[in-house]
Amino acid sequence: MVRRPKSRLTVTSIAAGLLLGVAALTGCTTHSAASPASSGGEPPPIPLAAGVSMPGLSWATVRTGGPSVGGKFWQLLVQDRAGGQWRLATPPGVADNGGLAVTRADAGTVTVGFVPSQLLKFTPLAVTSDAGAHWSQGLLAAALADAPDSLAAAPDGRLVAITTKSVLESSTGTTGWTTLVTLTALAATQAGRHCGLVSLSGAVVEPDGTVLVAGGCRRPGAIGLFAAAPSGWQQAGPVLPASLGLKSASVPRLMSSKEGTAALVAGQTGHGEVLIPAWLAAGSNSWKSYVPASLPASGVASASGSADGVWAVALNGRRGLVVPPPGLTASHDLARRISLPADGATLVPGAVAGELTALVPGLNTVAVWELSANGSWRRSQVISVPSAPDG
């Protein structure tokens, strides 16, 4: 498949810094093929709890359980837009202690990857075309990376998988896997050296079939987002000004829809962690981005996105953010701060602007909370979940 090249991308607006006050991370000691001129430190960690809101179907992953029930297990929940109710849809028969990565193809097929835990070297896959009512099995003979976007679906049904060492691509569905590029090879490209690439974190496939791969950078000011093109891998932006003082960066979340591609960038500055939403409209080669207003100290616990580029971010300490895409408002973009009903929630934006759902895990339940128009939370459901994987 021919992949179109990407032109150099620029940021169109930068506002005041979103400082989360996370304690500065220690310097990165990992050695890779990339040797940046100066090391800015380890990129911020990526939370595995995540959600996606798309026309017709929303889903989210949460981690339930605890020592009293023999460990913690990840659960997949889906929302039926017709009735508005959430329900448990975790594929049965496979231990999911390591986590779940979820992706959906344009045809509606949902594929779940079970992030390997303990000594597993391969990744079980599960596929459904009826929102989790029935599942078929697949296999990736490699360990999927511990990140929410380590599995991505192409419009034609192919899959792209991110491991710690390589980017893999299937020929169709869950079969015929081949290596698209390795971390070492990508780090050795001009784009990889400019980034100081140290890790792979996720992928997304644009409507035209272009594969975008995200990774962690330790070169100050660089964003690790790469596009596959006939001439080789190219830096796919966005490019941030040096005045931001970015020491290192990762891309916790990526989403693509017919409207465009959304990215959420997490970076380390001298003052703490900063979140930067970026939006590439369909048919455009220029990213828009901004840095929202400052926040008190809290690390990111979950990050969920909608098809139109809205991010819902849960922070530790029962704090949350709703981050609109760049250019949504006529004057400037502002992140809306909210209080959460409980700590450890997965915050998911709704299909209708302003709607928010908080999924709060317990030992063997998940409570569904809806944000009302007056800004208060209302518990609408309590979903029972098994204390151990079914199977």
pLDDT at 71: 59
Q: How confident is the model at residue 142 (pLDDT cuts 50, 70, 90)?
A: very high
Please give the backbone phi and psi of residue 183, each rounded to the nearest 5 degrees, phi first: -60, -45
How big is the CA angle at 318 (ends 312 and 321), to the nearest 5 degrees? 25
Instruction: Select from 108, 91, 173 the least CA-distant residue to 138.
Output: 173
How is 149-218 classified by DSSP, letter by letter? Answer: TSEEE-TTS-EEEEBSSEEEE-SBTTB--EEEEEHHHHHHSHHHHHHTEEEEEEEEE-TTS-EEEEEEE-
> Total structural domains in the chain?
1
| Residue 34 located in a structural domain | no
The two structure tokens encoding residue 249? 């960066």
Closest CA to 222 of 284, 265, 161, 158: 265
Residue 72 within a domain: yes
Q: How far apart, in whole angstroms, are the C-alpha atoms of residue 250 and residue 14? A: 18
CA distances from 250 to 28, 47, 198, 333 (A): 13, 11, 10, 22
Range of lowest pLDDT (15-29, 203-217, 228-242): 15-29
Phi then psi dihedrals of residue 34, to 5 deg: -85, 130
Question: Does the residue 262 lie in any domain?
Answer: yes
What's the whole-number mean pLDDT along residues 319-348? 81
Does 282 or 6 have the greater pLDDT score?
282
| pLDDT at residue 38 is higher than 90 | no
Residue at 221 is within a domain: yes
Query: Of 26-40, 56-70, 267-281, 306-320, which one has max mean pLDDT?
Result: 306-320
Q: Kindly report whether the peptide bond that precedes residue 124 is cis, defined as omega within 30 degrees of 0.
A: no
Q: How far is CA 168 from the centre of its chain?
A: 18
pLDDT of residue 72: 80
134 part of a folded domain: yes
Q: Per-residue pLDDT for 124 more than 70?
A: yes
Q: pTM to 2 decimals?
A: 0.84
Place 307 in a pLDDT band, splitting at 50, 70 and 90.
Answer: confident
Q: What pLDDT digit, counting tens, does each position of 271-283 carry?
A: 777 888 888 888 8
175 contacts 122 by C-beta, under 8 angstroms: no
Per-residue pLDDT at 176: 96
Q: Is residue 18 part of a domain?
A: no
CATH of the domain at 360: 2.130.10.10
Confirm whether 287 is domain-assigned.
Answer: yes
- The verdict on residue 328 lying in a domain is yes
Pick the range with the lowest mean pLDDT from 30-44, 56-70, 306-320.
Answer: 30-44
In whole angstroms, give the CA distance from residue 229 to residue 290. 27
Task: Please determine, for residue 51, whether its predicted confidence score (pLDDT) is greater than 50.
Answer: yes
Q: Confidence band (pLDDT; 50, 70, 90) for 312?
A: very high
> What was the pLDDT predicted at 27?
30
- Measured at the CA of 368, the angle between CA 362 and CA 71, to 5 degrees, comes to 20
pLDDT digits (tens, 9 = 90+) for 81-120: 777 899 999 999 888 889 999 999 888 899 999 999 877 8
Containing domain of residue 62, as a range?
Answer: 50-384
Tokens of 104: 């959906």
